[in-house]
Amino acid sequence: MSMMQEFKDFALKGNVMDLAVGVIIGAAFGKIIDSLVGDVIMPIVGKIFGGMNFAEMYVMLAPPSKAVEGAASYASLKAAGANLLAYGNFITIVVNFVILAFVVFLMVKQMNKLKKEAPVAAPAAPAPTPEDVLLLRQIRDSLKK
């Protein structure tokens, strides 16, 4: 079997295609969650905590190597080469993870519930014992007596 034929057989298996679809949908779903957290949830959380912007929460570990252009923000300091510990960004990513994990948990829980609700077919009745086997059993039993 040629290498191309082996690759074709591998690539066209159902599990590989399902995995590819899952990865693509997962990447798109991750972007949706990023937008939900960054554009909806974190601004609300920031407003609750007095208008703080989590993206601008950092600690400068080393000063910038170049001059800072404009106001000293996370982006301008990073562009100037400052060594920053961006704990605000970390908080945002942790919130992303918690939301994504919760949504995946709900999806798995729903799938398990749907699997349990699927009707289970009753086991088939065993096939009747063939007549020749019944006769052989009668002969065996009569020889035992």
**What's the confidence (pLDDT) of residue 118?**
63
Bridge partners of residue 59, in order along the sequence:
85
Question: What is the spatial distance between Cα 124 and Cα 129, in angstroms, rounded to a whole number?
Answer: 14
Instruction: Please provide the distance, in angstroms rounded to a whole number, between the alpha carbons at the two ends of the chain.
Output: 63
Average pLDDT over residues 73-93: 86
Contact yes or no for 93/54 (Cβ under 8 A): no
Chain-wide mean pLDDT for the chain?
83
Residue whose structure tokens are 């989590």:
54
Among 30-39, 97-106, 119-128, the least confident range: 119-128
Average pLDDT over residues 69-98: 85
Contact yes or no for 89/73 (Cβ under 8 A): no
Q: For residue 106, what pLDDT band results from cuts at 50, 70 and 90?
A: confident
Longest dimension (CA), the chain: 109
